[in-house]
Structure formats: C-alpha cells, structure tokens
Structure 1
Amino acid sequence: MSTSRISRRGFLAGSAALGVTGVLSGCVGGGSSDDDGGTADTSSTEAPSDASGPVVLQSSLSDPDPKAALESVLNGYTEGDVTLNTVAIENYRAQLPTYLSSSEPPDVLTWYAGSVARDYASKGLLLDLSELWEGDGACAGFSDALRSLSSADDGTQIFVPTNYYWWGIFYRKSAFDEWGVEPAETWDDFLALCEDLQQQGVTPLSMGTGSTPWVASGWFDYLNMRVNGPEFHRALLAGEHSFDSAEVRAVLDEYAKIVPFIDPNGRSYSWQDAVTPLVQKEAAMYLIGAFITQTVPEEDVDDIDFFRVPIIDASLPVGEEAPTDGYFAAANSTRPEGAKALLSYLAQPDSQQQFIEESGSSNLPTSPDVDTSGFSPLVQKGIQHLEETDEITQFFNRDSSDELQTTADTALTRFLDNPDDVEQILADWQSAAERVFEG
C-alpha cells in the first residue's frame, strides 16, 4: 500500500495564499452517524451534455449545517441537473465500495484525499480527473502537495480536494479561567493538568466512541507520532511494522495513562454528543478536528480555543493531523463529462468559500484564490498551528484504508474498555491487520 510522506514545508509550499490560504482536511469532515439523510434534488433546467438524466452526487455530509451548505452551493450550479443523496457517515463508509463497484454508481462522491482514495483508484474504481489539474482546469492552481495527495499510484489525479482542517485539543477559554488552569506543553504537564481537573470534580477529557469509534484513533495517531515519530506512524499504517510490536505497546502504555481521565459516558456517545459536556463545562478538553465548531452553539464559538497534543519526545519531528476532504468520481459513471463539470464547479473559489461559511465549520479552502484574511481568530490560529509543525499526516484511515480503520475501531474500543488486556488486544489487532493487507 502506498503512503505519501509530506513535510510541513512541502505541504504548505505552493499554496501562496494559505498562510496566507489553504492546502489541506479526522475522519469526518462534516458527516454524521445518526442521520439517515435523504435525497435533495438541486436541479437547474439544463441536462448534462454527455448523457440524459441528472448527475448523482452521493454525500456523507449529513450534519444539518454542512448538508444545507452543500445544497445551497448546488443551487448555484447551472451546467446541468444534480441529484444529491445524503447518507449517514458510518453507513456511507460501509457502503462506499458497493457504490463505486456498482454497474450504475453515483457519478460524484464525497470522501477523502490520500491513501484511501489511492486504494480505490488501484482497484480501477475512480475516474481519471487529471484534466482538471492541467491548463486552465479548476485544480490547476492548487499546491503540489495537494496534487500529490490527490494522485493515484500511476501519477494520474483522481481526487478534487475542496477543504481541510486541523486536529487539536479543544477547550473553553472561560472554563480554563474558572478552573485556574492553562494548556500544557509537555506530556507530564498534561497528565498533571488532567489530575488537577479531576480533583476539582471536572471530567478532564471528552470522547465520543459509541457510534463513531474512529474518534479513538485520534489519540492513537498522535501518541504514536509523539512516541515513535511521524515516519514510523506512516510506515505502521502501510503494513511495514507490526501492531503487536514493542513500539506500539509503548504507545498504548501512554494511552493507558489518560484512560482514567476520559468520560466513561463517551463509550455511548457519538462524536457530536461528546461536544455537549465540553460546552456545558462538565468536561474540560476534547481531542477532535476543527469541525467541532459545527456543533458548538453560535454564542459559544468565540470561547473555543485549542492547543497541540503535548510533546513526549522532543527529539522527534512534530507531526500534526490535517485531513483533506473533497470529491472523487466513479470510473463506471455513465455521465463522466457531467461529473467533471460538477467537480470543476465545486472546486471554484466561490463554491469553496460559500460552503465553508454556510456550514459553520472552521475548515480552510484549498483554492489559493480564496481570501482567508477575514477568517476567525480560531481559524487563523489553526493556520499558524500547521505552519509551525514539521510533518503533516491525514488520519488513521486516510493514511491507510477504511478496512484498516475497522481493525483500529475494534482494537481501541476494546482497549478503552479494558486497558489491562493490552497484549491480547495488540495480538488480535495485528492478526486483523494482516488479513487486510493480504486481502
């Protein structure tokens, strides 16, 4: 399985306006796991030129605000008819291989850049979109790093990235002031912070791993990078190291130190549910993506801040998660030209800005032609956060595959329930991972 090594400098180079502007976007973007979604027909009066019938866009953006934002963006599309099908994220993830391999697949689909897209491309399931990255194509001005993330193993482009975001430990500034605490820079200081908060009767860490078990991978990704480094992390997810190795055991040794500080109710929460204790100041911190702002009440958003996952080994390069979201098209699409026309529209600066603003997210645009100077202080801090890191990763499944993510979901939720059973958990995880890599 191919992985892409991207340094902070390489990722941000060529995106003149991210830092200026954007380049990049754990695991979700804007999707939900508890909304079965529906079908919205956002159509104009013209039909695609290459085939009759509307272009079908299959979307995992089922949270109300991102869903409404995408519908609004599509209302401005004038090149043809579009049918938008919205499916809850976990159902979507499970059905995506079926969507793509169908004899009559959706034409355009939301998903992720990087390894997960390359994996589908290697099976011949994705449409070649290289023409959108050439000449005056909609993605031609995107950074070289984005081009790399959007390329298949054979060098063709198979993805259109439209937004990215960062991960961090989010908290309420007013709550920290009330509790007399400050963000931690080192791991020892972080553990001491958690102990202090717990003694004050505050749950230190929120986490929603009920219907969204992938959230547990956020801590695994970061602790692996902090203990073993980003290079080892990427190699592990590519099958070059074993999950029952001493290195991974060391990661779970550190993970075990925070398990007593995690809200036990989180095992029945979705990631969205786990935001509520943070907002209500019942829990202090939440390691999650910047999409958290979609579920924070508008009156509280300005009180949200974040800090990086503390350093454990200062000799290692500092890695940060910055997953990239967007769209690909099915190779078996009966309307390939209509699909490319829609993708070109979704990649346009105005479309990106409209989606970000109306979705209420803290995501950043990938187009260098979007002006980010008016973005909120939180987003400006997110930009600086990524500029100051050494290396960029995506997220567990994006740096590996959706199939490997399932093994992580099983292993890490077992670990949260019984951290003392770590040896058996890691042995079972490695066996499951081998079946994925050999499959």
Structure 2
Amino acid sequence: MSRPRSQAEYLARLVPPSVAGLNRRSLLAGAAGTGALLGTGLLAGCGSDSDSGSDSKTVSVGSNQSDPKPKDVIAKVMAGFQTASGIQPAVNTVDHNTFQENINNYLQGKPDDVFMWFAGYRMRFFAAKGLAGDVSDVWGKLSGYSDAFKKASTGDDGKQYFVPASYYPWAVFYRKSVWQQHGYQVPKNLDELNTLGAQMKKDGLAPIAFADKDGWPAMGTFDILNLRINGYQFHVDLMAGKEAWTSDKVKKVFDTWAGLLPIHQPDALGRTWQEAAQSLQQKKSGMYLLGLFVAQQFSNDEQDDLDFFTFPEIDPAIGAKALDAPIDGYMMARKPKSEANAKKLLEYVGSKDAANITVKNDPSTLVANTGADTSGYTALQKKAAELVGSATEIAQFLDRDTRPDFASTVIIPALQQFIKNPKDISGLLTSIENQKKSIFTS
C-alpha cells in the first residue's frame, strides 16, 4: 500500500522530540491547514480506556490509507464487514505520515478500537509497551497464513498482536517498451548496473528515478545495499542497535551508494516518490527502486508495460535473495470500547473474503491470506508474489525494523545529508552512531 508523505509532515520530523508536543502540532497545523488533521487532534481516535457501555453495533478504525486508491479499497473492505456482521465500522482516516509520526501519543490517548499498523519490530515495540491488545484468540480462528506471517505478528511474549492484510516487495521497476526500444538487459551485478546506467544517460534517460523529499524512500536504497553487501543478519542487528554504524561494513555501503549516485535522478530532495514514479511512467527514467505500490501511478493499460527485477548481486557470497517486503495490517487498542466487535473486525480483515475484495480492487499490493482467490492478480502481482516466495530472507523496511524515534529523528536527516553531500561519510556515520547510543540506551 502507498506511503504518501507531504512536505508538512516532513517538516514535522525536524522538530526535536523534546519539543514534539505543542510545537509539532502547531507546525503541522500551520503547514497543512486548519482541519486537515481531523479536527483538533492529529489522530482523533474514538476510543477511550474509560469507555465501557458503547453501542454494540459499532467499531472504530484508525486508518493510515489516505491516498485515493487504497482509501477506496479500505472502504470496500469495511462495507463487506458491515454486510457480514451487521456492525458499523467508523473509519478515521489520517495522512499516512501524520499517523506514523504521532502513533505513540495516539495509543496512549484515546485510540480507535482497531488501527492499521505494520508487522515486525514496530508491532513488537508497542506490544512490549502495553499499548496494544492481545489478539491470540483471533489467530485461533484464522486460516490461510504461513508460519512466517504468524511470526511477523507475534510479540516478544509469544502472543499475537497483529493481523496481516497485505504486503508488497521492493524491486527495481521499469517499462518493458523502453527497454525493448533500447535493447537493455537486466543487470546481474553491480558492474552491469553501472554500465546500464551509463548507457541510459547516453540515451537521454535518468537511469534510476529517485526521490527523497518525503524522507523515507532513500531508506529502501540503504536497505538493499546493506542486504547485498553485508547480508540479512548484519542488517537486522544494525537496525536493532547491536552493530556500530562506524564499522567498515556500513562505510562500504555508503561508499557503494556514493558510486551509484551519478546514475540516480538528481535533485532528489525536491521530489516526491509520486513525481519520481511519474518520470518512469512518462518514459523519462529507465528504472525505479520502490515498492509494488509504484503501480498506483500507472493506468490499468500502462501496468501491462510495467516489469521489475530484484536488485542485482554485489557480493557473490551473499547473493541477491534478500529483500524488503513490508507487511501491512491491523492491531487492536489495549482497551477498545468493544473488544468483541474489535475482534470480529480483525477476524474479518484477516479472512479470505476481505482478501478477495482487495485482490479485485488493488493491483498495487499482494494479499497475505493464501486462501484468497488470486486468479485476478495482474501479471505484475503474480511475479511479485513469486519474488517474495523465492526470497531467503525478508526485511520489513528500515523505519519498521528499528526504533521509530531512531528512524525519524536520526536516519532520515542523515540520509538526506548524505544525498546532498556524500563526501564526509566518516563524519556522518560517527554522528549516527553517537545518536544511536543515546537513543538505544534511553
């Protein structure tokens, strides 16, 4: 699903955590406009720890799916739930980045009964803080999920706190017609990628579409380079604060990235991911490393011309089987107004019926439930599902695999600083490591 980020929310990231209360809210209100964030609160949840006698036929849902296409898909899924259960879902939709940046306050305040979130570290982070409800009994009623999905939904205490709905791999996307026109071949290693990029430049294309105005897309580039150069386990340990950012291994990632920047679209800090995707759609760029949601920027007819390959091998000893494939889904508030209704909704969104609705309406994602009828998948979706199925290790994406505060207040500005000036890598990594020590020991 899409991860839209606006300039207003990017600016909010620049506010230090120590003044993230009123100042951050004021900044967002001033930049985004009054009322843009659902009234008086950034995340205006409907639930409350003190609510008890609620209407037995309603359930509130906090949604981060604010782009038109995924928002419409969620509406259809919720309509299916209402028809099946007779319970009316009240969906509270908030801009994706606003939702993410304010999730901690939201969960400690009056969250919705059910809210959308991510699998992996970020799910475990809030489960460990007691800010999410145990949904292990819901899992007892679910079918169609692999052990990998259940593991990604399980907290540190062995209980389940998450119901997966969809996922999408990151890969290098391109237009088949452009590649056929120029006779391009899929690169198998870093040298071939650089050679291909140089040829695309000669042909008048921006070799690799690139955007980081929104702060998060460059994380995908870091992830894949680290996975290819240092392997999955090192990447996971680095995200968990167990490895030093000043190590030679991390330095090699940035050195390699610096060598690739000349074949990336310039001025990335002034461009949104949608704009970069449109340059691919308009045949002005040759490739784009992004999630499957890039398909949202292509018409149905154009999607037949969209293809991808996994980022090529860098170290033969490590190979090219690891990738980012984030899982999106639902969690329950620690004390929902109606726990029974919340769990009924979770059981439905985890069902093959809900998955079938998504398959019919959204070509930019894959459904997690293997019992769904995926015969309606596009060729692109089928290939994406095969890619994930063949992966030996799957990461969740940098800002989901590490502490939320570290990702937003340290990594985003650091990567943007690197893109702007890739010369002082040692100084940059020293700064990241010092901040990491402070955050991970707090």
Give the alignment's TM-score, normalised by structure 1: 0.86
Task: Tell me if structure 1 keeps the 8 A contact 2:118–2:329.
Answer: yes
Q: Tell me what 2:159 maps to.
A: 156
Code of the aligned partner of 1:93 = Q
Q: Tell me what 1:266 maps to.
A: 268
2:257 corresponds, among 255, 258, 272, to 255
Q: Tell me what 2:126 maps to.
A: 120
Tell which deviates more after alignment, 377-386 or 87-96.
Answer: 377-386
Quote the offset at 1:360 in angstroms.
3.4
Quote the offset at 1:372 in angstroms.
2.0
Structure 1 residue 73 corresponds to structure 2 residue 73: no
Whole-angstrom distance in 2 between the partners of 1:141 and 1:301: 28
Quote the offset at 1:49 in angstroms.
11
When residues 191 and 385 of structure 1 are mapped into structure 2, their CA distance, relative to the original with a 3 A threshold, is: same
Tell which deviates more after alignment, 429-438 or 183-192.
Answer: 429-438
Task: Tell me if structure 2 keeps the 8 A contact 1:113–1:325.
Answer: yes
The alignment's C-alpha RMSD in Å is 1.9
Query: In the TM superposition, what whole-angstrom CA distance separates every residue of 1:353-397 from its partner, at most 9, and x where no partner exists?
Result: 212332332x22221211223422212211222233322211112
When residues 84 and 31 of structure 1 are mapped into structure 2, their CA distance, relative to the original with a 3 A threshold, is: farther
Whole-angstrom distance in 2 between the partners of 1:284 and 1:259: 15
Whole-angstrom distance in 2 between the partners of 1:63 and 1:168: 21
Q: How many equivalent pairs are there?
A: 397
Whole-angstrom distance in 2 between the partners of 1:179 and 1:38: 49
Structure 1 residue 229 corresponds to structure 2 residue 231: yes
Give the alignment's TM-score, normalised by structure 2: 0.86
Query: In the TM superposition, what whole-angstrom CA distance separates every residue of 1:88-138 from its partner, at most 9, and x where no partner exists?
Result: 111111111111111x2111111100111000101000000000111xx1x
Task: Tell me if structure 2 keeps the 8 A contact 1:352–1:365.
Answer: yes
Quote the offset at 1:352 in angstroms.
1.4
Quote the offset at 1:436 in angstroms.
2.3
When residues 432 and 328 of structure 1 are mapped into structure 2, their CA distance, relative to the original with a 3 A threshold, is: same
Quote the offset at 1:31 in angstroms.
3.5
Whole-angstrom distance in 1 between the partners of 2:289 and 2:37: 27
Quote the offset at 1:205 in angstroms.
1.0
Structure with more of its chain in helix, by fraction: 2
Structure 1 residue 30 corresponds to structure 2 residue 34: no
Q: Structure 1 stretches of 5 or more lacking a match? A: 1-28, 40-47
Task: Tell me if structure 1 keeps the 8 A contact 2:144–2:352.
Answer: no
Code of the aligned partner of 2:339 = P
1:376 corresponds, among 375, 378, 389, to 378
Task: Tell me if structure 2 keeps the 8 A contact 1:32–1:60.
Answer: no
Whole-angstrom distance in 2 between the partners of 1:112 and 1:308: 23
Structure 1 residue 337 corresponds to structure 2 residue 343: no
1:435 corresponds, among 434, 438, 441, to 438
Q: Structure 2 stretches of 5 or more lacking a match? A: 7-31, 40-50
Quote the offset at 1:185 in angstroms.
0.9
Q: Tell me what 2:315 maps to.
A: 313
Task: Tell me if structure 2 keeps the 8 A contact 1:163–1:364.
Answer: yes
In structure 2, the residue corresponding to 1:125 is in which secondary structure? coil
Whole-angstrom distance in 1 between the partners of 2:346 and 2:184: 46
Query: In the TM superposition, what whole-angstrom CA distance separates every residue of 1:195-223 from its partner, at most 9, and x where no partner exists?
Result: 1111222111112210x211101111111
Whole-angstrom distance in 2 between the partners of 1:369 and 1:214: 32
Task: Tell me if structure 2 keeps the 8 A contact 1:214–1:405.
Answer: no
Structure 1 residue 86 corresponds to structure 2 residue 93: yes
Query: In the TM superposition, what whole-angstrom CA distance separates every residue of 1:274-293 from its partner, at most 9, and x where no partner exists?
Result: 11100111111110011111
In structure 1, the residue corresponding to 2:273 is in which secondary structure? coil
